[in-house]
Amino acid sequence: MLLLPALPQQLTVRGTNDAAPNRLNNPCCGLGHVAQHSVHSAKLQSKAHSQQPSRPSRSRRLQACVCGVLAATVESRPTILVSEKLGTPGLSLLEAYGNVDQSFDLTPEQLCEKAKTSDALIIRSATQVTRAVFEAANGKLKVVGRAGVGVDNVDLEAATEYGCLVVNAPTANTVAAAEHGIALLAALSRNIAQADASTKNGKWQRGKYVGVALAGKTLAIFGFGKVGAEVARRARGLGLNVIAHDPFASETKAAALHVKLVSFEEALSTAEFFSLHMPLTPGTKGIFGTEAFSKIKKGARIVNVARGGVIDDVALAKALDDKIVAGAALDVFAVEPPPADHPLVGRPDVIVTPHLGASTIEAQEGVAVEIAEAVIDALKGELAATAVNAPMVPPEVLAQLQPFVTLAQGLGRAATQLVGDSGFTDVYISYTTPRSDDLDTRLLRAMVIKGILESITTSTVNLVNADLLAKSRGLRIIESTVPSEGRGVLTSMAVSLGTGSSKFSAALDYRQRVSVAGTVKDNHPYLIRIGIFDVDLALEGTVLLCRQQDRPGIIAAVSSVLASNDINISFMSVARLDSGQDAIMALGLDHYPSDSCIQKIRGVEGIAEFCISTSS
Ligand SMILES: NC(=O)c1ccc[n+]([C@@H]2O[C@H](COP(=O)([O-])OP(=O)(O)OC[C@H]3O[C@@H](n4cnc5c(N)ncnc54)[C@H](O)[C@@H]3O)[C@@H](O)[C@H]2O)c1
Ligand SMILES: O=C(O)[C@H](O)COP(=O)(O)O
């Protein structure tokens, strides 16, 4: 006997043959007859008769499907911690949806403490969201929203491990950053900041602050992404010749802006001005170091509105001392604010701004709205378009896959519940689909993994971390598609686990894998195969699965035990290999049977094995 762990949804088993007589409502009423009829109906086919249980509305069920993807549903008003100044329009959106806690300048300890009770955290660049924050939150934190682009202040690995979605606002401050880059470029070429300070100091030093022209010079952009491209557009308007280095940029996009893509070395040796616009990653950290400055064109000027860490400050100070670099304009620093003894901040050949790239009224309103919407969507369980640590599923794909999300999770769970003591590492997921060539399986795969892992780990499993958790537990996911007729996205799905043993041996297929298959009918998930038996039962509620001899009386005996324990049967499905051979029966139960009832079922003659699956 096997008592299967709980399914998370409160659902009830039911069948599809709605026109069939409703005799199973009361197991004392003709159950044996109906069961016998079903058994003899077809070889390896089951007949199903059902009572329609009350169920959640379709819209609620679909909402639950999507919420399950991110496990980000929040029952009451969510708590949204805003740890840095956020534009008013974004705050208004957040306040309409949840309880907003605006707490600025938190110490790391205070942030951890607040994370324990916050569903969402909204930050800019000053808040360090470390592993400790996710550890303290322990799953409570569903989403971190970065009101801006750079997420280098968020430990993405830890966020993913804890199933916390990270979203950003990648577009609203692009122009502001580009404009700041251009402003610094102009200021740097004409000594604006130094001349301003000198003049305000009572001096009139026209000879000292002679600048250099931009027009006709070459600007090298490092990082030809959103900001880099906008800087290029503006720089060309100033008469600069623009080249760019970006290993991942498209030639077409560059050509459209009349920008030549070049190697790192060529950019260094060719340009008079440098503007940095790449993200801070392990690959770009300190990329402007001693070696780069040894190759740079003498007298170059550097603007950095990207991230402080991409420049090695000591190496730049040396290059300035050696007059290899003529000047620098820095908006960003490896540590912000920079310490008093920073090697660059106090120099007369360096101008600095306190990370102002995104600080225009327009950009701040834009990022605030962009991030508020993304965070609210995530809290509602919808997939955010600006997810940083989760696959992006386009809305149209999501709409098509929604009905299969519950099925995928249910199959993963059902298969896992049927595994014996030997465990498993190989997970085979097969999609029968008319769209075998372009089916995006990431969402369904994540939900199968969620179904599998939920019963064996305390970690939150969702679309964000499913693949990672599967890998960390040594699971090997093998996906395949089987072409089918039709126009839908999917006909059916099967999940098989590579294990030699099952607690319910009828669940083993011909390859000795625990195997279940299912489909979606009228937006409800159904099991259509267990092992080598075809069945037809809704993947919901409490189900009693029995393997028994195919002979009269057994089904009646089991239902009589249930009836004497006042357990209503809502649905049944019977399948057999051949007349007189093994058969399996699935009974939907309104209640979970008591221990004594289970003992009595165990005692029914002819029952070889049975198990109970329940959602409550
Ligand atoms: N100072 C500010 O206030 C401010 C404002 C906005 C953005 N930023 C920063 O500016 C940078 C760019 O932002 P974005 O929105 O354009 O990002 P983006 O992702 O659109 O562009 C970044 C580009 O850098 C490229 N890149 C990656 N590695 C590279 C490498 N080793 N060498 C050259 N290029 C490389 C990428 O291919 C990409 O095209 C980010 O670091 C962001 O945080 C700063
Ligand atoms: O990455 C960004 O978006 C910029 O660095 C802006 O940072 P901020 O929001 O702290 O101004």
What's the CA-to-centroid distance between 267 and ligand 1, angstroms?
A: 17
How far apart, in whole angstroms, are the C-alpha atoms of residue 118 and residue 134? 11
With a 6 A CB cut-off, is 284 part of the ligand 1 pocket?
yes
Q: Give the pair of three-digit tokens for residue 551.
A: 């002979």
Spatial neighbors of 112 by CB under 8 A, at least 6 apart, are 132, 133, 135, 136, 137
Going by alpha carbons, the residue nearest to atom 39 of ligand 1 is 225
125 ligand 2 Cβ < 6 A: yes
CA dist 159 and 133 (Å) reads 9
How far apart CA 213 and CA 140 sit, in angstroms, is 55
pLDDT digits over 256-274, tens only? 999 999 999 999 999 999 9
Amino acid type, 451: G
For 214, residues 6+ apart whose C-beta sits below 8 A from its C-beta are: 185, 186, 189, 235, 238, 239, 240, 273
Q: Is 240 helix (H, G, I), strand (E, B) or coil?
A: coil
β-partners of residue 461 are none
Helix (H, G, I), strand (E, B) or coil at 348: coil
Owner of token pair 């964000």 = 464
Does ligand 1 have an atom closer than 6 angstroms to the CB of 274?
A: no
Cα–Cα dist 161/141, whole Å: 12
What is the distance in A from the centroid of ligand 1 to the CA of 277?
4
Cα 347 to Cα 180, 273, 293, 321: the distances in Å are 20, 19, 18, 10
- Residue the block writes with tokens 């399986």: 441
Q: Known catalytic residue: 307?
A: yes
Active-site option among 307, 513, 524, 547: 307
Rounded distance from Cα 153 to ligand 1 centre (Å): 14
Instruction: Decide: 267 in ligand 1 pocket, CB within 6 A.
Output: no
- Give the residue whose CA is nearest to atom 9 of ligand 1: 306
Give the three-state DSSP class for 14: coil
CB 279 near ligand 1, within 6 Å = yes
Counting ligand 1 atoms within 8 A of each CB, the residue from 182, 227, 330 with the most, and so the one to mutate, is 227
Assign residue 423 a region (left: φ > 0; alpha: ψ between -120 and 50; beta: otherwise): left
C-alpha distances out from residue 136 to 106, 113, 141, 462, Å: 15, 7, 9, 19
Residues 6+ apart with CB under 8 A from 137: 112, 115, 116, 118, 162, 164
Strand pairing category for 273-276 and 260-261: unpaired
pLDDT tens per residue across span 8-23: 222 222 222 222 222 2
122 in Cβ contact with 81 (< 8 Å): yes
d(CA 481, CA 436): 6
Q: Which of 167, 153, 149 is nearest to 70 (CA)?
A: 167
* Spacing of C-alpha 231 from chain mean position: 32
Query: What is residue 70's predicted lDDT score, i.e. its pLDDT?
Result: 54
Q: What's the CA gap between 381 and 62, in Å, rounded?
A: 11
Determine what percent of the chain falls in helix, strand and coil, rounding each to the nearest 5: 35, 25, 45
Ligand 2 and 144: CB distance under 6 A:
no
At 136 the pLDDT is 97
Report the nearest-CA residue for atom 10 of ligand 2. 125
| Residue 35: closest CA among 18, 52, 21 | 21
d(CA 109, CA 1): 50
Q: Determine contact, residues 326/349, Cβ cutoff 8 Å.
A: yes
Pocket test for ligand 2, best of 86, 125, 362 (most atoms within 8 A of CB): 125
358 close to ligand 1 (CB < 6 Angstrom):
yes
d(CA 37, CA 23): 12
Q: What's the chain's Rg over C-alpha atoms?
A: 32
Q: Give the number of the atom of ligand 2 that is nearest the alpha carbon of residue 169.
A: 3
222 in contact with ligand 1, CB cutoff 6 A: yes
Q: What is the DSSP letter of 504?
A: S
Distance 70 CA to ligand 2 centre (A): 26
- Is the C-beta atom of 567 inside 6 A of ligand 1? no
Residue 487: how many CA atoms within 13 Å on its side-chain side?
Answer: 0
**Neighbour order of strands in the sheet with 582-589:** 2-6, 607-614, 542-549, 582-589, 569-576, 47-50
DSSP string over 66-125: HHHHHT---SSPPEEEE-S---HHHHHHHHHHSEEEE--S--HHHHHHHHTT-SEEEE-S
Q: Alpha-carbon distance 149 to 227, whole Å?
A: 10
Centre of ligand 2 to C-alpha 521, Å, is 48
Residue type, 203: K
* Spatial distance between the Cα atoms of 165 and 465, rounded to a whole number of angstroms: 9
Query: 367: CA distance to ligand 2 center in Å?
Result: 10
Beta bridge partners, 102, equal 82
On the CB side of 548, CA atoms within 13 Å amount to 26
307 lines ligand 1 (CB under 6 A): yes
The encoded tokens of residue 266 equal 């060529």
Q: Which atom of ligand 1 is nearest to the CA of 248?
A: 37
For residue 306 and ligand 1, the question of a CB distance below 6 A is answered with: yes
Answer whether 588 contacts ligand 2 (Cβ < 6 A): no
Neighbour order of strands in the sheet with 99-102: 99-102, 79-82, 120-123, 143-146, 165-168
Q: How far is the CA of 120 from the centre of ligand 1 (A)?
A: 25
Q: Which 8-state DSSP code applies to residue 23? A: G
Nearest to 601 by CA among 550, 564, 575, 576: 564
Query: Which atom of ligand 2 is least distant from the CA of 307?
Result: 5
Query: Does the CB atom of residue 162 touch ligand 1 within 6 A?
Result: no
Q: Does the predicted interface ipTM exceed a cut of 0.90? A: yes
Alpha carbons within 13 angstroms on the beta-carbon side of residue 366 total: 16
Q: Find the 410 Cα to ligand 2 centroid distance in Å.
A: 42
Report how far Cα 553 is from the mean position of its chain's Cα atoms.
51
238 C-alpha to ligand 1 centroid (Å): 22
Catalytic residue among 23, 301, 355, 513: 355
pTM passes above 0.80? no
Q: Are 374 and 385 in contact (CB under 8 A)?
A: yes
Q: Token digits for 83?
A: 């740890």
Q: What is the number of other CB atoms lying within 10 angstroms of the CB of residue 154?
A: 24
Q: How far is CA 424 from CA 115, 478, 537, in A?
A: 36, 13, 26
The atom number, within ligand 1, closest to the CA of 171 reads 15
Quick count: other Cβ atoms within 10 Å of Cβ 605? Answer: 10
Distance (Å) from CA 366 to ligand 1 centroid: 19
Residue nearest to atom 9 of ligand 2 (CA): 124
Given 95, 251, 291, 336, which residue is catalytic? Answer: 336
Residue 93 Cβ contacting ligand 2 at under 6 Å: no
Among all ligands shown, which has an atom nearest to the Cα of 230?
Answer: 1
Instruction: Show the low-confidence residues of the chain (pLDDT under 70).
Output: 1-75, 383, 391-395, 421, 436-437, 455-460, 579-580, 614-616
